[in-house]
């Protein structure tokens, strides 16, 4: 699985509309056959920083993503909204999805 985290520093005047402006790219990526997830979050410390956590099933899915028609269009749509080049961590890791955290186990009787 390819696991990717990207931090985007958005111009303050576009922070309120950033997710709306990236919605088409987000929807197209989520519809890709090998996409496992493509989830946006907003920093709790900096309202102008958005964090994208995404994953692709395998080499073929990751390659199909960056070679898709919507990939360059999505990046170009973001370009005028950003302050700086996004920061990325992209790694091939074992697994095919989220695992439960071993250090913080919650029994169903504990919840609630």
Query: Mean pLDDT across the stretch 4-32?
Result: 98
pLDDT (0 to 100) of residue 112? 59
Cβ neighbors of 42 (< 8 A, separation 6 or more) are 49, 50, 51
Query: Mean pLDDT across the stretch 78-99?
Result: 96
Q: Residue 15: helix, strand or coil by DSSP? A: helix
| Residue-number span of the structural domain to which 17 is assigned | 2-92
- For the chain, what is the mean pLDDT? 95
* Residue 101 falls inside a structural domain: no
* Residue 7 falls inside a structural domain: yes
* Residue 38 falls inside a structural domain: yes
* Residue 107 falls inside a structural domain: no
What percent helix, strand, coil does the chain show, rounded to 5?
A: 35, 30, 40
Taking the C-alpha atoms of residue 110 and residue 44, their distance in angstroms, rounded to an integer, is: 27
pTM of the model: 0.91
Q: For residue 65, what is the domain's CATH number?
A: 3.30.70.100
Our CA angle for 52, 100, 91, nearest 5°, is: 40
Confidence of residue 9 (pLDDT cuts 50, 70, 90): very high
* Residue 105 falls inside a structural domain: no
* Residue 110 falls inside a structural domain: no
* Residue 49 falls inside a structural domain: yes
* Residue 64 falls inside a structural domain: yes
Distance between start and end Cα atoms, the chain? 34
pLDDT over 80 (residue 111)? no
If one counts the domains in the chain, the total is 1
pLDDT over 90 (residue 97)? yes
* Helices H / strands E in the chain, number of each: 4, 4
């Amino acid at each position: 699985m390819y696991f990717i985290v990207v931090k985007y520093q958005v111009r303050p005047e576009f922070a309120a509309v950033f997710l709306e402006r990236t919605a088409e790219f987000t929807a197209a990526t989520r519809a890709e056959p090998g996409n496992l997830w493509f989830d946006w979050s907003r920093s709790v410390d900096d309202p102008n920083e958005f964090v994208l956590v995404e994953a692709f099933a395998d080499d073929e899915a990751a390659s199909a993503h960056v070679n898709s028609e919507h990939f360059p269009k999505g990046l170009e749509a973001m370009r005028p909204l950003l302050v700086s080049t996004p920061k990325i961590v992209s790694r091939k890791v074992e697994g095919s999805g989220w695992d439960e955290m071993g250090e913080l186990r919650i029994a169903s009787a504990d919840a609630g």
